[in-house]
């Protein structure tokens, strides 16, 4: 089909498609992007990117892949290549997808969105250390909730459920994208389950199910949570639903644990036989949990020796010493020892379980009962039995010598029985006193946890309210793109939280400087690039900025200009480079840039050199101080001055930097 759309019309349609994409209106976004991709002579990678995303959201994954490959054929683009790699990875083609993502690392290595996709692919490929390093870099560069969601999933996969829950909760607090919210809630549900809160996990999964957003792979975990929360009928429904599809090795392990909780060891063993699975289906701790569950099922069946052998095999694995998995095997070994009458050995195992998890209920109860038996045995050996033996020996001697003293011997026997009765009464009172003390301590601990929770919730609400108020005050009614507004909101919210949490000023500064860098890039670099296209001045701009020409090779005055040379396909300008260009915006070769600023924004020409000095200072002091020889630790006075100029008062009688940048002509 011959191109029928003119460039200006194609760009207008593409802007409309982007608006529909931001609103989640995928049918409209896909239709407009497809029209631009098929009918315009102007090849815009963004058209193919929106088209592919729309197809994937509509369930047409093959069409999404075809759109990206077509876009790469028409105009090679690192962004399209990264999008294709991410799509293939999500579809299970991990090796091919990861290869494509690694090829564009040199060009997109400072793009947080790309780093989030790359980190997800590395995690799916099992390269968890590499994934964590990439995701940390993404967040340092100002990455959003997409990067935080992948980091939360990685933390959960590595067993750090507290960190996973914290990250996912933060995402829920400020995210509007339904897909990211769905992922955050799924991560939180898994984290709450393994943090010992099955009721909280089940509530989250029920909400996902009600919204038709529950992934089939989560049915096994949800069934286990339902069993722990006492909803056995729901657990049965979920198990049947999962078994109707393809249950994994992990699912069968969870179902076996449910059956053990119900004292159905025969059914549990059937599931365990199916839980061996292929190596790729295993997860950290899988082999240990398999042995622990099988050992308990065999013990419940009365197969003591087989259970003991399986449980002792589990003690050779490293999970035996962890607080989450270790106590269970210790408890079962203690039960086996107690059944054999070896209460000393049983007590040793229960004590080891409580050292790993002081709140393990089964170990606490068993320890209490066993300690009584051990103490009673020791007491009898030390007192009652000794008295009986001494009395019997004395009575026998007296009987031989003084038959008339038989009555005295009987009196001693009655005294022994009285002492035993007193001992039982004292033991019962001691047990009751201990139970009362535990109840008081538990109530006090619950009250303290409630107060801490209420205080944290109050701080979060206060931080949210102050963040919204300050952003509204800073922008003074001006409309900012959603992406820029989100970065600013995260930075300001982090600042508000830091005022009460003790977070270092340097950590907060990274968020503000990252937001400033993204605003400069979006408002000045990206829009200037579009302006050069619309006005046809790109060639003149590049020619006027050449400092030296060597044959076909040219050298520009700075890297800022080089970023607009399509033949170079170089990296985007850094924060420092944009600052230096603003500082020397009066140079003759930057005349197109000055004109773009004058036509687009309402700021006076003198604003831009001052902004350049501000940006350079922010880069050297906040963004990357070590690279510029600054070794003095950043204090909150400096950070507050920077924030005041950024948000509220850049110069005397002027609003903040962001409002000055945003105000249109």
CA distance 162 to 359: 17
Name the average pLDDT for the chain: 86
- pLDDT, residue 614, reads 96
Choice among 275-284, 328-337, 364-373, 515-524 with the minimum mean pLDDT: 275-284
Helix H or strand E encompassing 537:
none
CB of 228 within 8 A of CB of 262? Answer: no
Other Cβ atoms closer than 10 A to 201: 26
Structure token digits, residue 67: 């759109």
Q: Give me the residues paired with residue 546 across strands.
A: 556
Place of tokens 């815009």: 44
The arithmetic mean of pLDDT across residues 468-475, rounded, is: 94
The arithmetic mean of pLDDT across residues 128-155, rounded, is: 90
- pLDDT, residue 380, reads 47
- Terminal-to-terminal C-alpha distance of the chain: 40
CB of 313 within 8 A of CB of 340? Answer: no
Name the pTM for this structure.
0.49
The arithmetic mean of pLDDT across residues 490-508, rounded, is: 89
Question: pLDDT at residue 382 above 90?
Answer: no
The arithmetic mean of pLDDT across residues 68-83, rounded, is: 92
Confidence grade of residue 403 (pLDDT, cut at 50, 70, 90)? low
Q: What is the DSSP string of 83-97?
A: HHHHHHHHTT-HHHH
Question: pLDDT at residue 530 above 70?
Answer: yes
Confidence grade of residue 609 (pLDDT, cut at 50, 70, 90)? very high
Question: pLDDT at residue 282 above 80?
Answer: no
Distances 539 to 10, 536, 570, 578, 605 between C-alpha atoms, Å: 21, 8, 17, 20, 24
CB of 311 within 8 A of CB of 291? Answer: yes
- pLDDT, residue 385, reads 56
CB of 220 within 8 A of CB of 250? Answer: yes
Confidence grade of residue 287 (pLDDT, cut at 50, 70, 90)? confident
Nearest-CA neighbor of 188 among 209, 217, 166?
A: 166
Per DSSP, 245 falls in state: S
CA distance 354 to 364: 7
Higher pLDDT, 516 or 458: 516
- pLDDT, residue 328, reads 83
Question: pLDDT at residue 390 above 50?
Answer: no
- pLDDT, residue 582, reads 96
* Number of residues in the chain: 665
**What phi and psi, each to the nearest 5 degrees, are found at residue 664?**
-80, 160
Structure token digits, residue 470: 């300050």
CA distance 571 to 25: 32
Confidence grade of residue 378 (pLDDT, cut at 50, 70, 90)? low
The arithmetic mean of pLDDT across residues 138-151, rounded, is: 88
Task: Express each pLDDT in 406-434 by its tens digit.
Answer: 666 577 788 878 888 888 887 888 788 88
Higher pLDDT, 526 or 409: 526
Q: What percent of the chain has pLDDT above 90? A: 38
């Amino acid at each position: 089909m011959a191109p029928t759309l003119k460039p200006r019309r194609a760009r207008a349609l593409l802007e409309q498609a982007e608006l529909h994409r931001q609103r989640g209106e995928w049918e409209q976004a896909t239709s407009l992007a497809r029209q631009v991709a098929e009918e315009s002579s102007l090849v815009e990678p963004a058209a193919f990117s929106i088209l592919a995303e729309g197809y994937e959201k509509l369930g047409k994954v093959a069409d999404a892949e075809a759109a990206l490959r077509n876009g790469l054929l028409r105009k090679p683009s690192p962004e399209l290549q990264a999008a294709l790699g991410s799509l293939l990875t999500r579809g299970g083609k991990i090796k091919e997808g990861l290869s494509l993502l690694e090829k564009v690392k040199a060009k997109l290595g400072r793009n947080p969105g790309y780093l989030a996709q790359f980190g997800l692919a590395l995690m799916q490929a099992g390269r968890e250390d590499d994934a964590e390093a990439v995701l940390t870099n993404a967040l340092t560069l100002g990455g959003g909730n997409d990067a935080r969601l992948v980091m939360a999933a990685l933390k959960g996969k590595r067993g750090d459920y507290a960190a996973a829950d914290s990250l996912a909760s933060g995402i829920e607090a400020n995210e509007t994208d339904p897909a990211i919210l769905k992922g955050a809630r799924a991560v939180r549900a898994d984290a709450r389950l393994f943090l010992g809160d099955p009721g909280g996990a089940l509530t989250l999964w029920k909400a996902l199910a009600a919204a038709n957003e529950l992934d089939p792979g989560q049915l096994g975990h949800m069934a286990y949570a339902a069993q722990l929360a006492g909803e056995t009928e729901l657990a049965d429904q979920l198990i049947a639903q999962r078994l109707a599809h393809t249950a994994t090795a992990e699912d069968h392990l969870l179902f076996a644990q449910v059956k053990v909780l119900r004292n159905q060891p025969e059914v549990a063993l059937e599931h365990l036989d199916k839980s061996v699975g292929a190596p790729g289906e295993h997860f950290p701790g899988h082999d240990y949990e398999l042995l622990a569950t099988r050992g308990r099922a065999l013990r419940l069946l009365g197969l003591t020796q087989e259970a003991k052998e399986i449980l002792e095999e589990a003690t050779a694995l490293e999970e035996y010493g962890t607080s989450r998995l270790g106590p269970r095997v210790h408890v079962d070994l203690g039960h086996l020892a107690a059944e054999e009458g070896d209460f000393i050995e049983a007590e040793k195992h229960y004590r080891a379980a409580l050292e790993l998890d002081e709140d393990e209920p089964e170990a606490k109860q068993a320890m209490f009962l066993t300690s009584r038996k051990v103490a009673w045995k020791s007491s009898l050996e030390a007192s009652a039995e000794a008295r009986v033996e001494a009395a019997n020996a004395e009575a026998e001697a007296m009987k031989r010598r003084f038959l008339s003293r038989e009555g005295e011997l009987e009196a001693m026997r009655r005294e022994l029985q009285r002492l035993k009765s007193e001992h039982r009464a004292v033991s019962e009172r001691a047990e009751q006193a201990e139970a009362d003390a535990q109840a008081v301590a538990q109530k006090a601990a619950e009250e303290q946890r409630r107060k801490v929770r209420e205080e944290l919730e109050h701080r979060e609400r206060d931080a949210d309210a102050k963040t919204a108020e300050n952003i509204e005050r800073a922008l003074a009614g001006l409309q900012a793109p959603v992406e820029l507004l989100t970065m600013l909101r995260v930075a300001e919210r982090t600042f508000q939280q830091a005022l009460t949490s003790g977070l270092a000023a340097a950590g907060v500064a990274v968020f503000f400087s990252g937001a400033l860098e993204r605003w400069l890039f979006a408002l000045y670099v990206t829009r200037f690039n579009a302006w050069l296209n619309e006005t046809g001045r790109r060639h003149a701009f590049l020619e006027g900025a050449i400092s030296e020409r060597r044959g076909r090779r040219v050298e520009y005055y700075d890297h800022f200009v080089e970023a607009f040379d399509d033949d170079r396909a170089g990296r985007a300008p850094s924060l420092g480079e944009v600052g230096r260009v603003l500082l020397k915006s009066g140079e003759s070769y930057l005349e197109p840039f000055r004109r773009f600023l004058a036509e687009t924004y309402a700021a006076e020409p003198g604003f831009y050199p001052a902004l350049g000095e501000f940006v350079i200072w922010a880069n050297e002091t906040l963004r990357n101080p070590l690279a510029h020889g600054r070794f003095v630790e950043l204090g909150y006075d400096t950070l507050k001055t920077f924030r005041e100029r950024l948000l509220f008062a850049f110069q005397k009688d002027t609003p903040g930097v962001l409002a000055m940048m945003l105000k249109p002509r």
